[in-house]
């Protein structure tokens, strides 16, 4: 092994392997390992030019005969060795004399260390299992490698972030996570550690991470290189600020993003959309956005309104704008072979391919379809050109990028993209999907850009991605899981997040149990980054599929899903929260501004704002909505009071009652059906329930 230094950092060479450790912005380093003659130059999520930083390399000569090393025979031939330290502010990358890596903070405390179990007698871990920390193994007959990366575990560590997984726990320590995009699952491989560092697995390959008790292990069956980023900070806020500086921050949130979004499974016609918006305005209810969901087209891949169901779309959009309502249209990445766009896209290589079998019927729902390849710049430009002509030029400014994983048979070993095999690049698809629309709108001069996207990867935030949590169930369990999902997305650097209020799958508006769930979930939605009502609702109206000229058309829809659809009691409760949201606009506007400037999440676990309070690290049922408001959604039925932990060091005011509490304790908050427990910091001047 040979260790050298240069203007980029530290380079370890052993055989054909080259491990590079280099500064990557303040308090941060990037580590890459390749076993090819030329380095893979993909930066993946690390798209932003690193900010200048004052770094240096120090060396230390080590006496190899020191008793610490044990082993007289080894010491006889290796009397001395050299350790290297790349010091970059609060983070030091230490390369020991054997080439092992560890990361220390400014106090010399180990934050993260490679896990070696080597037979080498010079090792502290002189054990015979012979497991190296990093393995980049060639796959015979290819230029690809399997990759295992192992780090030491720490019993005291808590791990937060990693994107959106349908699970109960916020702390990811002790979990196994699939690095795969799926409906309701978004793999965003960045986490914040309670030890004071952030870690990005900068690799879009499909794989798995195990945050075990004995080690952390990243496993990738097929890739071209090892690539990760480590940053240190005294607080979670500082860590996320570093990370989002490296991967990008959200643009400014448009004003209509702060208000209420109305959506249901499907509005079938132009007139249905207008009738709903008119009814909101007739009742004097705030409404900023209405969504035209799937199958408003004739064929998938047309990316255009069905002229029979949506005649004069310009007139519809114009009338909505006059009411102060923006129009969202659903976009699917699927292209039907009968669509006029299929042939040109196939000829130009703009569709996804398979290594075996026929790519047709990949999605297969409502026609023979193939997904367009969002990793191909030409394909992104082609799709945007059609979208611009058929939607944007007619007045649409927000797009719902559905099926963004993309949803299809998850045979990652079979699909192939412009950027490479799906097994190596698949997780980046939702980011590139959002990128195409962001760049298209940016080219038109639009500055405040937002796209509703059903998945994300590291860096999606820079393209205005508002992620929602997919087709979740209508149940209290699902609601509890969405709380963890939303907070984890924020800690993974994706601050714009929402979910289908009331859940998507199921939910009968006439059922009293569902009405209770809806009241609770809707109240929670008032304190999410985006306040959006959606769901398929049951029972469906007649499930009618009509054969139209050129293709099949869904004419069925779910049951009603508007504010007045869930009974008079719920209507009054939900109406109340619409106006609370309106009252919070100035507060939320300022919160969104800080998010755009610093990368701080809109919703975040309590420890983000109170990192020195152990109780805040342990709490998983409450969160901060911006810097002043604490929210604890009720996620169980039949509740009239609800336990809420209040962080230490502050006095808190219960918004529903005006009661004052010292922090550092759990209190029984008022939580009847009309009330979500909300507390504000004393002195903030914020009033939630009062007029």
Report the range of poorest mean pLDDT among 190-204, 379-393, 523-537, 555-569: 555-569
CB atoms within 10 A of CB 588: 21
How much of the chain, in percent, has pLDDT values that exceed 70?
95
Quick one: which of 441, 525, 442, 455 has its CA closest to 494? 455
- Which residues are paired to 146 by β-bridges? 137
Which two tokens mark 269? Answer: 């016609």
As its CATH architecture, domain 255-598 has: Alpha-Beta Barrel (3.20)
Which tokens hold the place of 652? 């808190």
- What confidence tens digit (pLDDT) does each residue in 374-425 have? 999 999 999 999 999 999 999 999 999 999 999 988 889 999 999 999 999 9
> What pairs with residue 463 in β-bridges?
none
Give the mean pLDDT of 73-90.
Answer: 75
Please report which confidence band the pLDDT of residue 40 belongs to, taking 50, 70 and 90 as the band edges: confident
Closest of 496, 497, 493, 521 to residue 507, by C-alpha:
521
In terms of average pLDDT, the best of 26-30, 73-77, 127-131, 363-367 is 26-30
What is the arithmetic mean of pLDDT over 335-344? 96
Alpha-carbon distance of 302 to 362, in angstroms, equals 18
Structural contact between residues 172 and 249, judged by C-beta atoms closer than 8 angstroms? no
What average pLDDT does the segment 236-253 reach? 98
pLDDT, residue 64, reads 58
Q: pLDDT value at position 128?
A: 66
Q: What is the DSSP string of 8-72?
A: TEEEEEETTEEEEEEE-STTEEEEEEE-SSS-----TT--SPPPP--EEEEEEEEETTSGGG--H
Do 233 and 244 touch, CB atoms closer than 8 A? no
Which listed residue (40, 411, 471, 541) is catalytic?
Answer: 471
Find out whether 487 and 191 touch, Cβ atoms under 8 Å: no
- Under the banding of pLDDT at 50, 70 and 90, the label for residue 75 is very low
Give the single-character DSSP code of 168. S
The residue-averaged pLDDT of 640-652 equals: 98
Tokens 């059903």 found at: 454
Q: What's the pLDDT band for 71 if we cut at 50, 70, 90? A: very low
Report whether the peptide linkage leading into residue 114 is cis, meaning its omega lies within 30 degrees of zero. no
Alpha-carbon distances of 679 from 360, 567, 615, 666, rounded to whole Å: 53, 28, 17, 12
Banded pLDDT at 362 (limits 50, 70, 90): low
Q: Residues 397, 388: contact at Cβ < 8 Å?
A: no
Can you give the residue ranges of every domain in the chain?
2-247, 255-598, 603-681
Query: What span, in angstroms and rounded, lies between the C-alpha atoms of 490 and 487?
Result: 5
**CATH superfamily entry for domain 2-247:** glycosyl hydrolase (family 31) (2.60.40.1760)
CA atoms of 354 and 360, how far apart (whole Å): 9
Same fold for the domain at 2-247 and the one at 603-681?
A: yes
- Residue pair 314/394 in contact by the 8 Å Cβ criterion: yes
> How many Å apart are CA 515 and CA 673, to the nearest integer?
10
Pairing of strands 398-401, 326-331: parallel
Residue 81, both tokens? 């060795």
Query: What integer is the mean pLDDT of 14-27?
Result: 95
Residue 67: pLDDT band with limits 50, 70, 90 = very low
**Residue 530, CB half-sphere, CA atoms under 13 Å: how many?**
31
Is the pLDDT reported for residue 473 higher than 70?
Answer: yes
- At 37, the pLDDT band (50, 70, 90 cuts) reads confident
Please name which of 432, 485, 439, 440 lies closest in space to residue 458, comparing C-alpha atoms: 432
What's the chain's length in residues?
691
Catalytic one of 405, 432, 481, 536? 405
Set 97, 402, 536, 650: catalytic member: 402
User: Rounded to whole angstroms, how far apart are CA atoms 217 and 228?
Assistant: 13
Q: DSSP secondary structure string, 449-508?
A: --EEES---TTGGGGTEEEE--S-BSSHHHHHHHHHHHHHHHHTT---EE--BT-SB---
pLDDT tier at 129, thresholds 50, 70, 90: confident
Using CA atoms, how far residue 229 sits from 161, 174, 198, 471, 592, in Å, is 15, 22, 8, 32, 26
Q: What is the mean pLDDT of residues 466-481?
A: 98
Which of 190-199 are b and which e, b meaning 16 or more Cβ less than 10 Å from the residue's Cβ? Answer: bbbbbbbbbb
CATH number of the structural domain 603-681: 2.60.40.1180
Q: Which residue has the higher pLDDT, 212 or 36?
A: 212
Between the alpha carbon of residue 398 and those of residues 127, 290, 395, 465, 616, the distances in Å are 58, 10, 9, 11, 37
pLDDT at 105: 98
Who's near 571: CB < 8 A, 6+ residues apart? 563, 564
pLDDT for 363 equals 56
Active site residue 402: yes
Indicate if the pLDDT at residue 127 is higher than 70: no
DSSP class of residue 257? Answer: G
Any idea what DSSP says for residue 253?
Answer: P
121: confidence class by pLDDT, cuts 50, 70, 90: very low
Are the CB atoms for 66 and 130 separated by under 8 Å? no
pLDDT digits (tens, 9 = 90+) for 185-232: 999 999 999 999 999 999 999 999 999 999 999 999 999 999 999 999
Q: For 1-18, what is the mean pLDDT?
A: 93
* Catalytic-residue membership of 405: yes
pLDDT of residue 69 exceeding 50: no
Q: How far apart are CA 453 and CA 497, in angstroms?
A: 9
Three-state SS at 193: strand
Question: Is the dihedral angle over the CA atoms 590, 595, 601, 606 positive or is it negative?
Answer: negative
Average pLDDT over the chain reads 94
CA 132 to chain CA centroid, Å, is 31
The pLDDT, as a whole number, for residue 126 is 52
Q: Check residue 561 and give left, alpha or beta (phi > 0: left; psi -120 to 50: alpha).
A: alpha
> Closest by alpha carbon to 489, among 12, 165, 137, 229?
165
Percentage of residues in the chain having pLDDT higher than 90:
87
Residues 6+ away with beta carbon under 8 Å from 343: none
Q: Each residue of 281-294: pLDDT tens digit?
A: 999 999 999 999 99
Q: List for the chain the helix, strand, coil content (%; round to 5).
A: 25, 30, 45
């Amino acid at each position: 092994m040979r260790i050298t230094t240069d203007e980029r950092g530290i380079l370890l060479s052993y055989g054909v392997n080259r491990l590079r450790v280099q500064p990557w912005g303040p308090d941060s380093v990037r580590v890459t390992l390749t076993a090819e003659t030329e380095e893979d130059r993909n930066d993946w999520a690390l798209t932003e030019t690193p900010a200048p930083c004052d770094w240096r390399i120090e060396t230390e000569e080590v006496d190899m005969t020191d008793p610490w090393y044990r082993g007289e025979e080894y010491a006889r031939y290796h009397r001395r060795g050299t350790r290297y330290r790349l010091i970059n502010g609060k983070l030091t990358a230490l390369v020991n004399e054997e080439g092992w890596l560890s990361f220390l903070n400014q106090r010399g405390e180990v934050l993260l260390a490679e896990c070696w179990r080597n037979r080498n007698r010079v090792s502290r871990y002189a054990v015979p299992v012979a497991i190296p920390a990093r393995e980049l193994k060639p796959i015979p007959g290819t230029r690809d490698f399997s990759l295992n990366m192992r780090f030491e575990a720490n019993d005291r560590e808590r791990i937060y972030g990693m994107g959106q997984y349908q699970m109960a726990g916020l702390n990811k320590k002790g979990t196994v996570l699939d690095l795969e995009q799926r409906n309701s699952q978004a793999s965003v491989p960045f986490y914040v550690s309670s030890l004071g560092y952030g870690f990005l697995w900068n690799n879009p390959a499909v794989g798995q991470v195990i945050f075990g008790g004995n080690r952390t292990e990243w496993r990738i069956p097929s890739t071209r290189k090892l690539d990760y980023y480590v940053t240190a900070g005294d607080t979670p806020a500082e860590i996320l600020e570093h990370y989002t500086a490296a991967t990008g921050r959200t643009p400014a949130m448009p004003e209509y993003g702060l208000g209420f979004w109305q959506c249901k499974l499907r509005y079938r016609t132009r007139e249905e959309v207008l009738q709903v918006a008119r009814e909101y305005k007739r009742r004097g209810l705030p409404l900023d956005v209405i969504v035209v969901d799937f199958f408003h087209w004739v064929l998938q891949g047309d990316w255009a309104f069905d002229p029979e169901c949506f005649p004069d779309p310009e007139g519809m959009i114009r009338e909505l704008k006059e009411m102060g309502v923006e129009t969202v249209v659903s976009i699917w990445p699927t292209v039907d072979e009968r669509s006029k766009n299929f042939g040109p896209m196939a000829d130009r290589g703009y569709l996804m391919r398979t290594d075996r079998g026929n790519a047709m019927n990949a999605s297969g729902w409502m026609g023979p379809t193939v997904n367009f390849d969002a990793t191909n710049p030409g394909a992104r430009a082609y799709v945007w050109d059609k979208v611009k002509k058929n939607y944007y030029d007619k007045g649409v400014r927000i797009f719902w990028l559905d099926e963004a994983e993309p949803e299809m048979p998850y045979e990652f070993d079979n699909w192939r993209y412009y950027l490479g095999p799906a097994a190596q690049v698949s997780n980046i698809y939702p980011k590139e999907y959002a990128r195409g629309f962001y760049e298209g709108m940016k080219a038109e001069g639009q500055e405040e850009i937002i796209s509703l996207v059903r998945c994300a990867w590291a860096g999606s935030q820079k393209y205005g991605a508002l992620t929602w949590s997919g087709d979740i169930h209508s149940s209290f369990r699902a609601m509890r899981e969405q709380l963890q999902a939303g907070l984890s997305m924020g800690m993974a650097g994706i601050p714009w997040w929402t979910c289908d209020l009331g859940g998507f799958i199921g939910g009968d508006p006439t059922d009293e149990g569902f009405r209770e769930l809806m009241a609770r979930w809707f109240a929670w939605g008032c304190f999410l980054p985006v306040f959006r009502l959606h769901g398929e609702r049951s029972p469906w109206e007649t499930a009618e599929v009509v054969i139209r000229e050129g293709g099949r058309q869904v004419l069925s829809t779910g049951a009603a899903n508007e504010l007045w659809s869930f009974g008079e009691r719920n209507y009054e409760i939900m109406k109340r929260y619409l106006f609370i949201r309106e009252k919070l606009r100035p507060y939320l506007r300022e919160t969104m501004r800080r998010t755009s400037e610093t990368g701080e999440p809109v919703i975040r676990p309590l420890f983000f704002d109170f990192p020195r309070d152990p109780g805040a690290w342990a709490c998983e049922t409450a969160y901060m909505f911006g810097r002043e408001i604490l929210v604890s959604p009720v996620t169980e039925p039949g509740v009239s009071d609800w336990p809420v932990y209040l962080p230490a060091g502050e006095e808190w005011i219960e918004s529903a009652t005006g009661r004052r509490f010292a922090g550092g304790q759990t209190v029984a908050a008022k939580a009847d059906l009309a009330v979500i427990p909300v507390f504000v910091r004393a002195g903030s001047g914020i009033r939630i329930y009062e007029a």
